[in-house]
Chains A and B, each alone.
Chain A
Amino acid sequence: MSSPSRRILVGVGNAGVTVLDQLSVEFPALTGLLAVNNDSDSLNASIVRDKIVVPEGDPREGFLAIDEEFGRAVEGASAVILCGGLGGETGSFLLQALAILAKSAGITTIASVGMPFSFEGKHKRDTAERALEKLQEICDAVVVIGNDQLSGGSPSTAAIGEAFVLSDRALLTSLLTLTGMLSTSGPVKITRADIHHVLGKPGSLTHFGFGKSDGANRLHEALEKALKSPLLALSGKGSALKESPMILLLLRGANDISFAEMQAAVDKIEQIAGESCQIKVGVHADAPLGSALEIHILASSGGAVRKPSKASESGEFKERIGSITPIAPIAQARTKSTILPELQVHEGVPSGAEADGKGVDELFPVPTKPASKTGKKPVATSKQMQGTLALDTYQRGRFDKSEPTIVEGEDLDVPTFLRKGIKLNPPSRK
């Protein structure tokens, strides 16, 4: 079970295990799943192959009985994503304990947790909030799903069962988004430092959206779905993106994702979020041809402002013009070894055998192909991105806010002479 250099998804408690079950139904090829629960009946019913049964009773004693087993299970992993619901005794305690264990083994540790619904009572909420605070101290990043957000603020009309299904769905999506963003396939990567930067703030709420489409107008359909995600809404305040200082945007699909599509997505997000927001883009163009285009959006709002991590503060990171910062050049300019120690020094956890970007993407095994084989304009490689993103070469003028005309992967609203790089004589003012 402990094959080296991989990402492990750990479902903790009933909620976590349910989500893993759904994941393995929808993505049967998925590996690296581990179910941990003290309810042996529910664990037996689970279709996840690797399981750890925690003895029932006091969770502390239960944990001590399984800590070695868990340690062996995650040994050598490059990242551990814990997922579960907060509020219950088991989940709240086990999530923290397992996080400490993983983190102290030098593994990048991310938690994705669901907060209780308000109808579940104040006691549960308090327990959850205390546990969340701890988790945010321990983990590199925490995705927080406010379950009340899901019901669109009016849980009264939704059936209770439906509400829990929604919440499981949200957890599942968060796992997909996280694993997608952690994957190393490129051509434009999102680094762990980026994820940490967005998610590492204590007390903040995480927002994400996911949409996919394979239609002719796939970018817009996928983007619309992603933006409509209830988890991108702040109750009564519109889109959460407006309050997010930094947004991660991931486009995932076959190698025909065009530069125009990426640009259109960034433009749309920027329109909503405002220009002061930092948008980090990742493009993973490694799925088989004909695959649907997936769009993942990850952002956070509110929360105390943590002392900015070095990873986001130093060097060329902040120097970039404009608010759009392509990630790949940075990832390349900074070697793995410079990113991670910063992360870990900041967290105060000693560095382990971890190596950023080491084969953490067995989740969606797909053959890697060079991006330019189709003969079309190659999907933005890091160098092109820097050149083309310079803002004064990109103008859609009056079509700025309208649905773009994308034909053969090119945004045709951009003047032809700009796309062809033709030089003109500027007018002379009198």
Chain B
Amino acid sequence: MANEQIFVGLEIGTTKISVIVAEARADDQISILGVGETPSRGVRKGEIVDMETVTECVREAILDAEDKTNVEIGNVWVAITGSHLASFNNRGSLVLPEERQIEQEDLDAVELNAKEVAIPTPNTFLHTILQAYHVDGNQNVIDPLKSEGALLEADFHIVHGIKTRIHNTLRCIESLKIGIEDVVLSSLASAQVVLSQDQKNYGALMIDIGGGTTDYLVYIDGAIRHSGVLALGGDHITNDISVGLRLPIARAELLKIEEGSAADPAGSEGGIISLKNDPRFLGCDVDRTSLDTIIHLRVKEIFELIRRDIESSGEGMLDLIRGVMITGGGSKLKGVAQVAEEVFDIPVELTRARNVSGATQIFEDPQYSTAIGLTKYARVVTKNIAPESMLDRLTQGLGSLFKKRSR
């Protein structure tokens, strides 16, 4: 395996389709060679609703990326999201016939055991991600291979979703004669570049606010404890503005980006925002406090739903020692961090892809966290590195998925 590899990440988002072509360097850095992009049509709330249109958009984005990078794209890593995705934690256990050294096949067997749970019939497993091994009640064994024991247990975070909807994404790409390396939960991809190893180890919540969905992921003790997809995003904010202030969607979107703030309207500067005439829109005066109220209520509600979901999964906010990291296009909205702090009551940081370099400055834009994260994920999964950190152990858990999918 060459030390320098090229990975392509494809994110079919509600707002845009982005293709990131990146090079994984020997020093473990991801270097972006270029990005292809088209505005997305036919995607709603992160899910494909119009196959043909989306396929055409993906084709354009891929061509765009090939143009800009001079790389011929053969295989891609694809991000997937949508409210149909669900997750839970489960423990698998395996009693060894006698006290002996634990082998790779034992690790495989314990993973299979953890997956022996009923998920709804239309669903299929997307990820089985290792959290920790326990050998004979000895908690959190980093690498049980070759250690001796009679009882092997392992905790997994399991993600599943509706088969047909996942297939839609795959079919759309395959129809372009492009191979799929793997399908990756969007939040898992983003977390690869947004969270540092330190944050994963001490506990952090990552929230990726997209156009159609908000994806989130909780890391504690270096392992994923919870993940979720909320079919609410920037589009909802725009829609709320459009309904509340009776503006066309496009005008509402512009107003959100240029003037909107999610911060508590009690502190709003108030006054009037004058919207000018344009050929398709008769100008009007908008009350700033009303605009801020609309955005604040929606953003706050999104965070409250996430907090409730995480707490009902059994994790407390105080376990998230490194706080909340917010990324995604929605994080560019003014005042988002303030609302998040208000709701989660722990430190909040707006963030974007890190440990990334490249010819374009695109990695500085939080909109591309997922697509860039895909290339990092690809690097981690395909690389065979010394089994020292928890992240690497994680990799093996994911690796088995990789094997399963490419079969």
**Interface residues of A, Cβ cutoff 8 Å to B:** 215-217, 395-399, 402-403, 405, 407, 412-413, 415-418, 420, 422, 424-430
Known: A407-B230, A415-B298. A428 touches B285 (CB 8 A): yes
Known: A405-B45, A427-B286, A430-B282. A417 touches B242 (CB 8 A): no
Give the residues in chain A near B236, CB-CB below 8 Å.
399, 412-413, 415
| Residue pair B290, A405 in contact (C-beta under 8 Å) | no
Q: In the complex, A250→B124 CA distance in Å? A: 32
Give the residues in chain B near A215, CB-CB below 8 Å.
120
| Residue pair A398, B298 in contact (C-beta under 8 Å) | no
Seed contacts A413-B239, A415-B294; 10 additional CB < 8 Å A-B pairs: A405-B230, A416-B294, A417-B293, A424-B244, A424-B293, A426-B245, A427-B246, A427-B275, A427-B284, A429-B282
Q: In the complex, A424→B117 CA distance in Å? A: 49
Give the residues in chain B near A216, CB-CB below 8 Å.
86, 120
- Closest Cβ of chain B to A366, distance in Å, is 25
The 7 A-B residue pairs with the shortest CB-CB distance, nearest first, are A415-B240, A425-B287, A424-B290, A416-B297, A405-B231, A397-B239, A427-B284
- Closest Cβ of chain A to B213, distance in Å, is 9
| Residue pair A398, B284 in contact (C-beta under 8 Å) | no
Residue B71 lies at the interface, judged by CB distance under 8 Å to chain A: no
Q: In the complex, A424→B241 CA distance in Å? A: 11
Known: A397-B242, A405-B45, A425-B289. A417 touches B294 (CB 8 A): yes
- Closest Cβ of chain A to B370, distance in Å, is 20
| Residue pair B44, A415 in contact (C-beta under 8 Å) | no
Give the residues in chain B near A430, CB-CB below 8 Å.
277, 282-285
Residue B305 lies at the interface, judged by CB distance under 8 Å to chain A: yes
Instruction: List 19 A-B pairs, Cβ < 8 Å.
Output: A217-B84, A397-B243, A399-B236, A399-B239, A402-B44, A405-B232, A407-B230, A412-B305, A415-B240, A415-B244, A416-B294, A417-B240, A417-B293, A417-B294, A420-B297, A427-B275, A427-B284, A427-B286, A429-B284
Residue B49 lies at the interface, judged by CB distance under 8 Å to chain A: yes
Residue B235 lies at the interface, judged by CB distance under 8 Å to chain A: yes
Give the residues in chain B near A420, CB-CB below 8 Å.
297
Give the residues in chain B near A426, CB-CB below 8 Å.
245-246
| Residue pair A418, B305 in contact (C-beta under 8 Å) | no
Residue B57 lies at the interface, judged by CB distance under 8 Å to chain A: no
Q: Which residue on chain A has the smallest CB distance to residue B44?
A: A402
Q: In the complex, A428→B289 CA distance in Å? A: 14
Residue B195 lies at the interface, judged by CB distance under 8 Å to chain A: no
Q: In the complex, A252→B3 CA distance in Å? A: 62
Q: In the complex, A212→B81 CA distance in Å? A: 27
Q: In the complex, A216→B294 CA distance in Å? A: 29
Give the residues in chain B near A413, CB-CB below 8 Å.
236, 239
**Which of A405, A418, A429 gathers most chain B CB within 10 Å?**
A405
| Residue pair A395, B120 in contact (C-beta under 8 Å) | no
Partner of A398, one of B86, B120, B235: B235
| Residue pair A425, B290 in contact (C-beta under 8 Å) | yes
Residue B311 lies at the interface, judged by CB distance under 8 Å to chain A: no
Residue B83 lies at the interface, judged by CB distance under 8 Å to chain A: yes
Partner of B243, one of A395, A402, A403, A428: A395
Give the residues in chain B near A405, CB-CB below 8 Å.
45, 83, 230-232
Residue interface bits B287-325, CB-to-A below 8 A is 1, else 0 = 101100110011011000100000000000000000000
Partner of A416, one of B284, B285, B287, B301: B301
Q: In the complex, A397→B247 CA distance in Å? A: 11
Q: In the complex, A396→B44 CA distance in Å? A: 14
Give the residues in chain B near A412, CB-CB below 8 Å.
231-232, 236, 301, 305
Give the residues in chain A near B232, CB-CB below 8 Å.
405, 412
Give the residues in chain A near B120, CB-CB below 8 Å.
215-216
Residue B346 lies at the interface, judged by CB distance under 8 Å to chain A: no
- Closest Cβ of chain B to A234, distance in Å, is 27
Give the residues in chain B near A397, CB-CB below 8 Å.
239-240, 242-243, 249
| Residue pair A424, B245 in contact (C-beta under 8 Å) | yes
Q: Which residue on chain A has the smallest CB distance to residue B265?
A: A422
Give the residues in chain B near A395, CB-CB below 8 Å.
243
| Residue pair B83, A427 in contact (C-beta under 8 Å) | no
**Which of B235, B239, B305 gathers most chain A CB within 10 Å?**
B239
Give the residues in chain A near B285, CB-CB below 8 Å.
427-428, 430
- Closest Cβ of chain A to B163, distance in Å, is 14
Give the residues in chain A near B86, CB-CB below 8 Å.
216
Partner of B293, one of A402, A422, A427: A422
Q: Which residue on chain A has the smallest CB distance to residue B308?
A: A408
- Closest Cβ of chain B to A31, distance in Å, is 34
- Closest Cβ of chain A to B395, distance in Å, is 31
Q: In the complex, A43→B305 CA distance in Å? A: 58
Q: Which residue on chain A has the smallest CB distance to residue B233?
A: A405
**Which of B236, B246, B294, B300 gathers most chain A CB within 10 Å?**
B236
- CB within 8 Å of A: which B216-274 residues: 230-232, 235-236, 239-240, 242-247, 249
Give the residues in chain A near B249, CB-CB below 8 Å.
397-398
Give the residues in chain A near B240, CB-CB below 8 Å.
397, 415-417
| Residue pair A416, B242 in contact (C-beta under 8 Å) | no
Residue interface bits B21-56, CB-to-A below 8 A is 1, else 0 = 000000000000000000000001100010000000
- Closest Cβ of chain B to A144, distance in Å, is 35
Give the residues in chain B near A417, CB-CB below 8 Å.
240, 244, 293-294, 297-298
- Closest Cβ of chain B to A218, distance in Å, is 11
- Closest Cβ of chain A to B95, distance in Å, is 34
Give the residues in chain B near A398, CB-CB below 8 Å.
235, 239, 242, 249
Give the residues in chain A near B294, CB-CB below 8 Å.
415-417, 424
Q: In the complex, A251→B335 CA distance in Å? A: 42
Q: In the complex, A418→B44 CA distance in Å? A: 22
**Which of A418, A420, A430 gathers most chain B CB within 10 Å?**
A430
| Residue pair B297, A402 in contact (C-beta under 8 Å) | no
- Closest Cβ of chain A to B345, distance in Å, is 21
